[in-house]
Amino acid sequence: MEIESCSSGGARIDLEVLRRTERVWTSDCNDALERQTIQWGASMLLPPSVMGAHVGPTRSHTTGRVHSLAFRGLTALFGHLGVEWDVLSLGDAEAAQLAELVALHQRFRPLLHGGDVVRFDPVLNGQSAVSHAYGVYSVDRREALVAHVQLATGMSLLPPVLRLPGLDPDRRYRVTQVELPGARLQWDGAGLELSGRQLAVHGVQLPRHHPESGMLLHLVAGD
């Protein structure tokens, strides 16, 4: 039997109960945009393996916002993924995309639930975050999965360069874009090979993407 601890409002998660439960429910608000900030804060204390994160319906029941499956899926990917969506209401295309998302999580679950969580400084407009980036590095630093999320309208045509400190400076990493189900964003820089030192100092330039959308990057070190 798997037991989940309630969030009790999201800000009162009982860390002691994790001795007896498998995961905690991060918040009753399942809006993907709200969840980006909620999960950013919760991940300071909770590893992805115990942080309940669900793919909800297209229209959030708490805020009324409508988000693409790609954005909802990216948000739920970095957690204990579940589905909170009436699957009997899905058409063939949506069902296929949801199955693709679940398979994507299964593919990366050993890394997501076994690596080191990393977060990078958000881009701010005053006190509000315009975008942020976060991810998981494997313990041996041979692999990484990084999300870049656009929360609001950017202040320039392109987002700032994304620098990824903390990788092995002497290894060379191949950077590829992981396609999210239903996403249309394409990045010409996919397939770059850069050293960990270059990634930390110079970083990568990502393409412009719209508010409430994101990208997923996969980095693998060469032999």
User: Residues 114-138: pLDDT tens digits?
Assistant: 999 999 989 888 888 999 999 999 9
CATH architecture of 116-221: Sandwich (2.60)
CA dihedral 91, 66, 105, 215 (to 10 degrees): 120
What one-letter code names the amino acid at 18?
A: L
> Which tens digit of pLDDT belongs to each residue from 46-101?
899 999 999 999 999 999 999 999 999 999 999 999 999 999 999 999 999 999 99
pLDDT higher than threshold 70 for residue 8: no
Q: What's the pLDDT at 185?
A: 78
pLDDT higher than threshold 60 for residue 156: yes
Per-residue confidence band for 15, with pLDDT thresholds at 50, 70 and 90: confident
Alpha-carbon distance values, 156 to 127, 132, 152, 159, 208 (Å):
17, 15, 12, 7, 9
Q: Are 17 and 49 in contact (CB under 8 A)?
A: no
Residues 18-37: what's their mean pLDDT?
A: 90
Find the DSSP H helices in 78-159.
Answer: 92-112
Tell me the C-alpha distance between 151 and 40, whole Å.
12
Q: Where in the chain is the domain with CATH 2.60.40.1180?
A: 116-221
Please write down the HEC assignment for all residues of 154-209. CCCCCCCCECCCCCCCCCEEEEEECCCCCCCCCCCCCCEEEEHHHHHHCCECCCCC
What pTM was estimated for this model as a whole?
A: 0.93
